[in-house]
Structure 1
Amino acid sequence: MGIYSQHVGQYADAGLPVFPVDARNKRPSVKGWQKATPRRARGWATKSDLANADGIGIVMGKSSGITEVDVDAVGGAWITAARERFGDTSIIIRTASGKAKLWYRHNGEGRHIRPFHGLPIDVLGGGFTIAPPSWRDDLGASYSFVSGSLDDLSKLRPIRSDAMPGTFTRAPEAVQRGERNDSLWRYCMAQARHCDDVEALIDVAVTWASAFPDPLGAVEVERCARSAWQYESEGRNYLGLRKPQLNTQDKIMDDLIDQPEAYALYLMFQRWHSHRPFFAIAPRAMSEAGSPPWPRRKIALARDVLLDRGYLIEVVPPRRGVSAGHYRFSGEMPGSGHNHNTFPSSALVEVAGHA
């Protein structure tokens, strides 16, 4: 028997909407988990593939009556800091990786990913969480109750009223027909900065929009979320900001501004090879073809700058007179140490002022 089938009864008896999850990948094992009920939870346990699941998921928010403060850092000091901000609680959970979850009584909180600057804390009043004794086979550890248990659910208190920042003050229950799309899109724009990917933002949008007096259809909710995510991913999410955000291309330009040939070559490679796993760089052939119209040596030096600064990775080294080298783009933005938020030098400002 799997973890889910062994323990689903305890959660269902407590009236909690649970469902099977893949604990390692933190993914629901069933569709429609948002509509989980104790009865459906027991039904999933009768199916062998679901009964063997190693994780138990709980729908956060209104249906479970629980808001979770997820402390994404290891150490008792972080738990103490969370309790000081949100108030004391009778239920604290240790995750398989040694981090912590604090449960509170739901009081209308939404799903807020990293709402506090510099603090590794999420507030989950929507979406789902993974509950004890879910097992992470890759870590060889389980989720466990550090204090309290399911018997203490009735003792939960709401988080302190002054704990949450006013990131979005309007309640979804107040959104009426004719303003649903605009309100949801603006909410998604505000939340996109705290989401890891578009699927997480869609989950946030579904949770928030579900409280509309006249709910939007699922397709429309997803459309709003994807639109907001496109703005965020392109660095055009200026909603509520005093100054525009810098996108990835801005940062690359900052890092390579002292090496214009390397920057131009990088843009050319992005244009030609952005969807390829690797590509060849042959300075002599490129020079002879006039693409770019530089001497071979200049192309080779620009390539070497991109390698040194981590923008390219050598897959197969070149063999002089035999074959060109093969390269691929780095999967991460190189850490140059450049402060992208600094203002341009006074000289540059002066020149710009007289342009």
Structure 2
Amino acid sequence: MGVFAQHVADFAERGLAAFPVDTRAKRPAVKGWQQASAVKSRAWARSPKLAAADGVGLLMGKPSGVVEVDVDAAGEAWLAVAVDRFGETPIKIRTASGKSKLWYRHNGEGRHIRPFPDEPIDILGNGFTIAPPSRREDLGTCYAFVTGGLDDVANLPTMPPTERQTDTQRLTGSAANGARNVSLWRWCMTEARHCEDVEALSAAAAAWNGALIAPLSAREVEQCARSAWKYEAAGRNFIGLKKPQLTNGDRIMDGLIDHPEAYALYLLFQRWHGNRNSFAIAPTAMSSAGSPPWPRRRIESARDILLERGFLAEVRSPDKSRRKSGLYSLTAQPIPGGGAGEGVYSDCWQICQVSEGV
């Protein structure tokens, strides 16, 4: 038997709505999990396939009477931040990846991802969570109660009223003005970064929708989730970010995007000479060797673009009379500006900040 079959009775005896989950994909392993109950939990455990599941999912909110504070960062420091914000609780959980969860008594909270800027904290008053002692075989570890256990669920404290109000307002405030569809779409865009696939995002969107006084249809929820996932899968989802998260490689591409041959030559130089202080560039010899397979003048033109835009620095000028090639070095930080690609990412980001129809 898997973890689910071994421990489902512990949840059912306390009236908790549990169901089997795929811990690696972090998604339910059974359809109809939203209607989980103690009776259904026991029935699922009698199915050999479901009984083998190594994860126990627990419905959050009204069905279980539990709201979870998910600390999506490892370490005691962020756990201390969460406890300071929401108060002490007898149930603290360590996830298989070493992060933390706090359980409180549900008091009307909804579900919201990152309600507080710059804090890796999620409030789960809807949807589901993965509960101890679920196991991640790929990590070789289990979810575990650090303090407390299932017997303490009946004695959980509630969150401070100010935190409950903040979460509820963020979930339903903008939807009250008739813009529910756009509100859900933007929420899906933010939530997509925390989902494994479109099915997981659709399930989370259904839970969000369930918190509304006048929920959208299942078809509209599915459309919003799939639209948001297309942006996420294409790498064009910048909603909720203060700025695009760019690497130095991205900046190099931006600076040379209008001169692809210069960009290709720069990448070759990085491969061959990235660990050298200086190196020779001999366009005639390079062309003859087919490295790269371009005419001499094309190599010279690409080299000159790299010099002009600060991607190369000239250490020694070429001396044709003495038939000596020039010496060059890769700059530690390319000089910004000049490239036609500059601003591409910021432009995309600005576009994605505008609400779109779904």
In the superposition, relative to structure 1, how do residues 162 and 88 fare at CA in structure 2: closer, same or farther (>3 Å)? same
1:224-243 mapped onto 2 (5 Å cutoff): 224-230=224-230, 235=236
The CA distance in 2 between the partners of 1:28 and 1:174, in whole Å, is: 29
Secondary structure (helix, strand or coil) at the match of 1:162 reads: helix
1:172, distance to aligned residue in structure 2 (A): 4.2
- Cα root mean square deviation, aligned: 4.4
The CA distance in 1 between the partners of 2:120 and 2:112, in whole Å, is: 12
The total of aligned residue pairs comes to: 290
With the length of structure 1 as denominator, give the TM-score of the two structures: 0.65
1:299, distance to aligned residue in structure 2 (A): 6.7
Aligned to 1:169: 169
Deviates more, 1:172-181 or 1:33-42: 172-181
Residues 115 and 170, structure 2, Cα contact 8 Å, conserved in 1 = no
Aligned to 1:270: none
Q: Establish whether residue 119 from structure 1 lines up as the match of residue 119 from structure 2.
A: yes
Aligned to 2:157: 157
The CA distance in 1 between the partners of 2:221 and 2:121, in whole Å, is: 26
1:40, distance to aligned residue in structure 2 (A): 1.0
Name which of 295, 299, 313 aligns with 2:298: 295
Aligned to 2:252: 255
Residues 127 and 204, structure 1, Cα contact 8 Å, conserved in 2 = yes
1:296, distance to aligned residue in structure 2 (A): 5.4
With the length of structure 2 as denominator, give the TM-score of the two structures: 0.64
Q: In the TM superposition, what whole-angstrom CA distance separates every residue of 1:178-223 from its partner, at most 9, and x where no partner exists?
A: 6543443354456557667654543332111113344333221011
The CA distance in 2 between the partners of 1:144 and 1:14, in whole Å, is: 18
Identity, % of aligned pairs? 48
Q: In the TM superposition, what whole-angstrom CA distance separates every residue of 1:267-317 from its partner, at most 9, and x where no partner exists?
A: 9xxxxxxxxxxxxxx9789758xxxxx7256679999xxxx9xxxxxxxxx
The CA distance in 1 between the partners of 2:170 and 2:112, in whole Å, is: 14
Q: In the TM superposition, what whole-angstrom CA distance separates every residue of 1:22-58 from its partner, at most 9, and x where no partner exists?
A: 2233232212222211111111111111112111111
The CA distance in 2 between the partners of 1:181 and 1:167, in whole Å, is: 19
Bigger share in helix: 2
Secondary structure (helix, strand or coil) at the match of 2:157 reads: coil
Residues 111 and 171, structure 2, Cα contact 8 Å, conserved in 1 = no
Residues 70 and 121, structure 2, Cα contact 8 Å, conserved in 1 = yes
1:247, distance to aligned residue in structure 2 (A): 8.3
Q: Establish whether residue 21 from structure 1 lines up as the match of residue 27 from structure 2.
A: no
In the superposition, relative to structure 1, how do residues 80 and 183 fare at CA in structure 2: closer, same or farther (>3 Å)? closer
Ranges in structure 1 where 5+ consecutive residues have no aligned partner: 268-281, 289-293, 309-335, 349-355
Aligned to 1:220: 220
The CA distance in 2 between the partners of 1:120 and 1:337, in whole Å, is: 31
Question: Over alpha carbons, which structure has the higher Rg?
Answer: 2
The CA distance in 1 between the partners of 2:89 and 2:206, in whole Å, is: 28
Return the structure number with greater relative CO, CA threshold 8 A, min gap 6: 2
Ranges in structure 2 where 5+ consecutive residues have no aligned partner: 265-288, 312-331, 343-358
Q: Establish whether residue 52 from structure 1 lines up as the match of residue 26 from structure 2.
A: no
